[in-house]
Structure 1
Amino acid sequence: MDTETRDGCLPDFLDLLLDTVILVDAEGRIVYANAACERMFGYSPQELAGRNLFDFVAPEDRERTCEEARLVIAGHHRIGFENRYIRKDGRRVHIMWSARWSEKDQLRVGVARDVTELRQAEAIQHATYAISEAAHEAADLDVLLREIQRILATLVPVAGLALATCDRRTKKLCFSYQMDSEGNSPVFDVPIACHFCDQIMCGGVSGATRDAALAALAGTKSSRGSACTLALPLEVQQETIGVLVLKSEPGTHYSERDKELLHFVSEQVAIAIDRAQLKAELLRAARHDELTGLPNRRLFQDRIQSALARCIRNQRAMAVLYVDIDDFKQVNDSLGHAMGDLMLQEVARRLQFCVRETDTVARLGGDEFVLLLEDLQSMSDAQAVADKIREVMSPPMDIGGRVLGVAASVGMALYPEHGLEIEQLLSHADEAMYSDKRSKAPTTNH
């Protein structure tokens, strides 16, 4: 392409094109760019002149872009090559190129089209589908959120993610998940985060107040090089079920386009999280006693089977303790089932006080409870727990304004002394409990 053509009317015609036309020499320097380049890159043709085109390529795309340029210079026409560029305002754009080499002019002639919106639409569609799939396949909420974090990171910069949800029973806001890109937790200062997320859920934070809240939440100031925080209310059927909080990489910020992207996928994220929470609640309801919140018979059976397998494998001891409330029927008959339920809840609370976090307290039904103690050093460890149960049960209970005395019968079975099978251990503990009950004089509960 000679100078006369370049300096004549051809550039004026090229400025009418909606696509960008760029001429680049063998070293990558921009010789010419038409007017459309400013819409695409944010730089005017004058600003681009003499600059190296590779300086604007996204770092992760530079190697393959250089290889593509070598192919063009070698005489291979390239049609439909895509890469990403950094605009003057810092945003990334997806560009599709058609290019050829002019041997006569020793220039690469490239025609570029901005396909950012198309690629973002595809990314949103893919992310929405992936989140929906994850909601069906994830074993629990933590697994789902880790997958959501990975998916969102394909759309926007995500250095950390947290989920604030409102417990449906207690109505308290808590962070049920926090994780940064390296797998570390926590990401945010929890008290500050809970405070502002609670306000966001209630619609009490907006404008400058919300910006300040999110800056405090991130633990950073709105300064160059700091991280940016974005709070995304999650709504299902016009109810806000939580707040998803994203933290950007240091030095990056969330643009209006990023917010639009997240808005598109937020509904699917909300549905997925709501479904996972409902699944967890149904699973818990199936495996826990509704009245006391303790593991029920089904969950206890699972745990004792696992505990026995560990005892056999590690040659360790364990104990099963049956606990029955003396004269509980009399409380139900004379004071009513509501008072009886309150007593059972207090008994459950006291029993949990007697064991370690690694042990299990379960309610089998009625006034029957069972404790599973693992990794015991000796029989005296189990006996100490049995003694503690009797001790914590001895103080009167204030139930619905009435002071009631309570006593418990306890039966104990040890593995391997009293049996090698689960049924043997349960039977021995049950017999020991009834033996303890028969040895007592009648008690009075009111």
Structure 2
Amino acid sequence: MKAQPRPNPVTALSKSELERRLREATMLKQIVATSGAPLEPLTVLNVICSELVEVVGVQHAGFARMSEDGQYLTVVAEFGGEHRTGLNDRIPLKGNVITQKVIKTRRPVAVLDAQNDPRMGAGREAARHFGVVSMLIVPILAGDRVVGTLGLDSYEPRRFGRSEVALVEAVSRAASPLLENAHLFDQLKTELAERQRAEEELRKSRTLYQELVNSLEGVVWEAELHKDSLVFTFVSRQIERVLGYGMSEFLGPRERSVWPRVLYPSDFEQVAQRLRTLAITLETAEVEYRALDKDGRLHWFQDRISALREVDGTVRLRGLIVDVTDHKRAVRLERDRNLALELIARGAELEDILEVLVEMLAAQLPEVACAIQVLKSGRVRFAASTNLPETLRRFFEAGATGPLGYRVQEGEASAMPDFEQEQRLDDPARQLLLRSGYRSALTLPVTSKEVVLGALTVISPSPLEPDVRAAHIVADLAAIAVDRQGLIEQLEYQATHDPLTKLPNRMLYQQRLTQAMQRAEEKGRLVGVLYIDLDNFKKVNDTFSHATGDELLRSVARQLAAAVRPGDTVARLGGDEFGVILADLPSVQMAERIARKLGAEVNTSVRIGNRALEVTASIGLALYPRDGTDADALYRYADREMYAVKGKPADKAPPAAEGQ
């Protein structure tokens, strides 16, 4: 008998099943990515809640942990909606039939009407209070043991589909270790407190003590204080991994130990004074200080130091050092990020914001130098830098956007891990960078909506990882700041310029006239105000079309702008009326000469398409302070002069059209 072909397992899946698996894979990928971040377990659970709210389409999601006696649940993470159950709130299981069923059967339960379902028990009142209509409760298992629940709340009636339930179950399985770790994290805090009480017992067995401290994540050290002489007697081997020096280099009298060179110079005396105080008070204290490793990198240490006096009078100091550099930098990074966003929101100057950003990066990576360049209208501008030697500053000022980033123009990051081996770097630039003490670079494009706005370049004396988080955050914030500045400039331009002719509008014209009069008063000069009106412009619109009239206005605007001096202003005041400010005039004669020049430029034939239009204009001139000492008086005088000229018969000729 002929064998039947087996169906392809992929094509046999339904569309809905494929969609469910895709959503589940996307969700789990996000969970895995978040779980690998340097975050506490509860923070990751909060992120998972936010992902569930987005993917499933509910208004609220939350994790609860089962108590050891199984009598209540404690909310440990949640996201979304107007209501918050309250972190660490205890939810009794007694009377809550639905949650008891979930725990007993180890299977999800959906509730269509949580406000009226009698199985909810006291939970009905909570559902009414928070506006929850439908719910999905899923158990979280560790092996065959229920360690908590994952709940989804909807403020509208809904049924949870089979694929959605399967997705939430998959998330609960992925989140189970995190929920367990959150519990272990709390237990660890308690265990650290208990460790202090064990120190006296550990002292009795030196061998066991050394084996234990060498297995710890932190660095344990001991020293003896004889009068004013401090002798370091022990340090655990983790010091080699953290600071790069051998264990033996830390031992012996303080003068011969490497400790004075390792401690940050400004912190050394503070730590020494604290040790002397503890030797007198025999207390336990936590001391924070900075240290430099063998490669010059900065570390933040949190040192828990205790002191006790031996029978012979010797004071023994013992410390447990924890490297809190990552935590310190994360806190500082978040604080600086919020500060930068606040500056951007307040509309601070772009240069000030970019200076804050480079200092923000320097706080995260003190050994590096960095520069931000901004690309505007096709030109590169050096905007901000920190720790950058003057020779390298000139290199960046004269170079292209991201001179060390060979893919920055395409909007891609690029790294140069070793200048000596980098083939894409020309030799003069290589020697300049190496002489300055730098060996690697990372260049990140500053982009917004796939448009390259500039570049952030980071150079380091040691290799840089391409995924340096702080650098990427700084580049993103720089993009927000530059993009916002561009938007502000665009809005300011639109608010102060005529959209048809691109000339300044009446508002900007008035501002510049006020400024010109102030400068003229200080310097004893004159200011000319010209009022220009095109004769018979309405006939152009009526005879040839408004499009022809618009093009005529643009042509006149170009002629006027080309005829004035660099410091003068040509503005469109409305309709067919133009205004000109002649600033810093030495004499009346010069004002009249410029006015005649403008008249000659405007009173000419203008070709619009296949038509030649004979253009005439009436011009009125007023001088500050001769004809008025404020803007309104000057406007009125120039307006009267203009109408006096317009009344002349030669100016009344209608526009002529040729070549029709």
**TM score, norm. by length of structure 1:** 0.80
The amino acid of 2:270's aligned partner reads R
Change in 2 beyond 3 A, CA 1:203/1:310 = closer
- 2:444 corresponds to which of 232, 244, 253: 232
Deviations 1:157-206 (A, max 9, x none): 5766434245xxxxx43335624459999772355227887951424674
Measured in 1, the distance between the counterparts of 2:265 and 2:613 equals 74
Contact 2:223 2:318 in 1 (8 A): yes
Shift of 1:72: 3.9
Q: Which has the larger radius of gyration?
A: 2
Partner of 1:173: 378
Q: Which protein has greater RCO, CA pairs closer than 8 Å, 6+ apart?
A: 1
Partner of 1:169: none
Matched, 1:188 2:396: yes
Bigger mean CA offset, 58-67 vs 178-187: 178-187
- 1:411 corresponds to which of 611, 614, 620: 620
Partner of 2:76: none
The amino acid of 1:97's aligned partner reads D
Bigger mean CA offset, 185-194 vs 407-416: 185-194
- 2:240 corresponds to which of 38, 47, 62: 38
Change in 2 beyond 3 A, CA 1:402/1:34 = farther
Partner of 1:421: 630
Measured in 2, the distance between the counterparts of 1:161 and 1:401 equals 54
The amino acid of 2:374's aligned partner reads A
Contact 2:396 2:403 in 1 (8 A): no
Q: Please give the residue correspondences for 1:250-261 in structure 2 after superposition, counting only pairs within 5 Å.
A: 252=461, 255-256=464-465, 259-261=468-470
Shift of 1:373: 2.5
Q: Please give the residue correspondences for 1:19-98 in structure 2 after superposition, counting only pairs within 5 Å.
A: 19-24=218-223, 30-49=232-251, 51-75=257-281, 77=283, 79-98=285-304
Change in 2 beyond 3 A, CA 1:94/1:402 = farther
Contact 1:175 1:194 in 2 (8 A): no
- 1:340 corresponds to which of 533, 540, 549: 549
Change in 2 beyond 3 A, CA 1:30/1:394 = farther
- 2:576 corresponds to which of 351, 358, 367: 367
Matched, 1:164 2:374: yes
Change in 2 beyond 3 A, CA 1:409/1:141 = farther
Measured in 2, the distance between the counterparts of 1:294 and 1:198 equals 40
Q: Please give the residue correspondences for 1:194-205 in structure 2 after superposition, counting only pairs within 5 Å.
A: 199-203=407-411
Matched, 1:130 2:329: no
Shift of 1:53: 0.8
Shift of 1:333: 4.0
Bigger mean CA offset, 432-441 vs 199-208: 199-208
Q: How many residues align?
A: 435
Bigger mean CA offset, 207-216 vs 299-308: 207-216
Change in 2 beyond 3 A, CA 1:28/1:52 = farther
Partner of 1:14: 213
Measured in 1, the distance between the counterparts of 2:332 and 2:628 equals 60
Contact 2:223 2:230 in 1 (8 A): yes
Superposition RMSD on alpha carbons, in Å? 4.0
The amino acid of 2:569's aligned partner reads T
Deviations 1:118-156 (A, max 9, x none): 112111211221011101223443443344444444334
Q: For residue 401 of structure 2, give the secondary structure of its aligned residue in structure 1.
A: helix
Deviations 1:37-89 (A, max 9, x none): 23322334245445321211234434433443443455464523212222233
Shift of 1:363: 1.3
Matched, 1:296 2:505: yes
Change in 2 beyond 3 A, CA 1:318/1:90 = same
Shift of 1:344: 2.9
Shift of 1:13: 2.3
Measured in 1, the distance between the counterparts of 2:580 and 2:329 equals 55
Partner of 1:141: 350
- Name stretches of at least 5 consecutive residues in structure 2 with no aligned partner: 1-199
Change in 2 beyond 3 A, CA 1:98/1:253 = same
Bigger mean CA offset, 349-358 vs 15-24: 349-358
Shift of 1:5: 7.4
Contact 1:164 1:177 in 2 (8 A): yes
- Name stretches of at least 5 consecutive residues in structure 1 with no aligned partner: 167-171
Contact 2:412 2:444 in 1 (8 A): no
What is the percent sequence identity of the aligned residues? 29
Change in 2 beyond 3 A, CA 1:199/1:36 = closer
Contact 2:401 2:408 in 1 (8 A): no
Matched, 1:385 2:385: no
